[in-house]
Amino acid sequence: MGINEKKLDEALVEYPTVKLVWHPFLVQCKCFYHMRLVTFLLHTIPAYLADAFLMCTGKERTVVKMYTKIQNVIEKLEYFSAKLFLFKSENIGRMLDNMSPRDRDIFFCDINAISWDDFFITFVKGIRVYLFQDPLDTLKEGLAKARSNTSVNLRQRRPPTHMRKK
């Protein structure tokens, strides 16, 4: 797991949604068929098992429908997430060299100065609030649900920083 994946994972642990089924994690695959197999094993089979359980308990089956939506989004983003894009522009470097410190503050465009910790926290909060429609004031409930789901997670995680013993 690279540095950015670790930072993303830490942000996901610190800001779980109450709509959490299990802790999201990232599996990077270089082979298209490997990704399809992982998707089948980690999305399709658990979704059908969960819906079978819901059906047996007399509840509405919703998990396959949810994972179908997730898979549709993944497939739409696949082109961009499966390819490496390299953008070269010497003009940005020259422009940064010619900018005054005040201009650099006003027109932030130096990617080397990005705080990746802040970026991933903001990214996860945005997904939580705008994609899952789960406001940050339900964070306490999300953390409680994440704690209760810890026993069924596939791998052990460090507790969020605000839950660690000092």
More confident residue, 77 or 51: 51
pLDDT at 83: 82
First and final C-alpha spacing in the chain? 26
pLDDT in tens, 155-164: 444 544 544 4
| Cβ atoms within 10 Å, residue 143 | 20
Between 150 and 66, the more confident residue is 66
What is the tens place of the pLDDT at every residue in 119-146?
A: 999 999 998 999 888 999 999 998 888 8
Whole-structure pTM value = 0.63
Spatial distance between the Cα atoms of 70 and 78, rounded to a whole number of angstroms: 12
pLDDT at residue 157, rounded to an integer: 47
